Amino acid sequence: MRHVARITMPALMVACSSPAVVRTPVPPPVTLAEATVSENLDTYLGNGFVVGSGAIPFVGLIRYAATEFLDSTDVIVALSIPPRSLSFVRAGDRYAAFYATRIDLMRGDAIVRSERPSGELRVASFAETTRGDEGAIFQRSMRVAPGTYSLRLTTQDSLGTGSGTATTSIVVPAMHDGSVAPAIPVFMSEPRLTRNAGLTIVANPKSTVRYGRDSVLELYVESYGEAAPDSIIVTARRGNPNAVLIADTLPNRQGGAVRTVRARLPVYRLGLGTVGITVSVPGGRVIDSMAAIVNLGVDLPVETVQELIDALRYFTSESDLQRMRAAPDSARPAIWANLVRRTDPNSATPDNEALLEYARRLRMAERSFKEDRRHGWQTDRGAAVAALGEPDVMTAPQPADTLGVTRVVTWEYRRHRLFLVFSDAAGPGTWKLTPLSEENFRALLALAGPCVGCR
């Protein structure tokens, strides 16, 4: 569920002889709140977003739009506030949280303008209060004279002591005849015809869309006056500047003092991860550059859809994977969404707990068992972690007497009565299951199914 907070002011809101046995450290229990954190804030920090530090790590963006006056510009502040960082109380048949946001516009140490709107968030179930991937949307605009400022944002939990703060520099542009405003990622927008009309949008503060849930990334672009360009070019790129994913030339909507473009970029064409978006006019002049993020709603350590399919090898059946491999790019998001729904052990909660557990295992495999250039889950030790979780007991590397084998490590899964032996016969740093262990491992998976213990 995507929440739009209600603002009380005008705003939107794993057999060796006698090895030294080393028990695996017991990991902390996986709570729902911890497991639902499906994003890395560094991604947003590194791509120009406003990110709050402290107990409320909000993420947001600043955009601009014209007013009816040339000497003022609307500064649009849009923040995504994670529900898990707020304190909730029971409110009838729902749960409610309350917060206040302070917006200080500064020049040097002097506050030029300060606003303190408050917000309210209501959710239908307690499980939703622990979500970290979806945020309450806070949105507010204020009229400011063009120029350079510091913007300090502070969000305070009204029922607790948590707060988050961020300070960023902004350059407020003058919106004269022919100006094109920066693109605003939105969930909803209604074009306006005049500069004095209210801006009707619900901003997407993290410029983020969900693969398998959202079909498009929508951008709203305004330009002003008779000198406004007749068309706007929206280009999406990944990595190398020449790796163009989408390049659309869109007509600039005619009529009135405000001309608008609503770009709708198909998510399947954007792929996964961070995408660079540029807005330009014919002739090549770049008006705006920004980042957009396509995520899976769960923190799987993959960067492409092909890697996703490969990483799911111990989560679902081979027939599911073959179906996804054979499908065209446009059909894969729906197949992924259906897989997530079908494997959810508890449809009454907002998350797929089995997928969250599998993602945790994959991150552990990626962190601890990468070999050469292979992902952690592509190695034998990583595969065991992905499919079975952490072993109950494991040994440190020990010398081995077997011809051709230098060292071995052993993993014991007592709960599955499984004993696995890994050797480095293939070379130092490469640990492979012995043939007997490989046979026993596969036999267990054939009997118990994929992702043992996830569901």
pLDDT at residue 453, rounded to an integer: 87
Identify which of 204, 194, 158, 245 has the alpha carbon closest to the alpha carbon of residue 44.
204
- The CATH architecture that domain 1-13+15-173 belongs to is Sandwich (2.60)
Gap between the Cα atoms of 288 and 261, Å rounded = 14
Q: What is the pLDDT of residue 407?
A: 84
Q: Please, where in the chain does CATH 2.60.40.10 lie?
A: 1-13+15-173, 176-297
pTM for this one?
0.85
Per-residue pLDDT tens over the stretch 399-443: 776 655 678 899 999 999 999 999 987 677 789 999 999 999 999
Instruction: Say how far apart CA 270 and CA 305 lie, in whole Å.
Output: 11
Q: What is the pLDDT of residue 132?
A: 64
14 neighbors 422 (Cβ within 8 angstroms): yes
Ranges of the chain with pLDDT below 50? 1, 4-39
CATH architecture of 176-297: Sandwich (2.60)
In Å, how far are 202, 205, 391, 442 from 143, measured between CA atoms?
Answer: 18, 19, 59, 65
C-alpha span between 280 and 96 (Å, rounded): 43
Tokens of 220: 């709203």
What does the alpha-carbon distance between residue 235 and residue 284 come to, in Å, rounded to a whole number? 11
pLDDT score at 64: 97
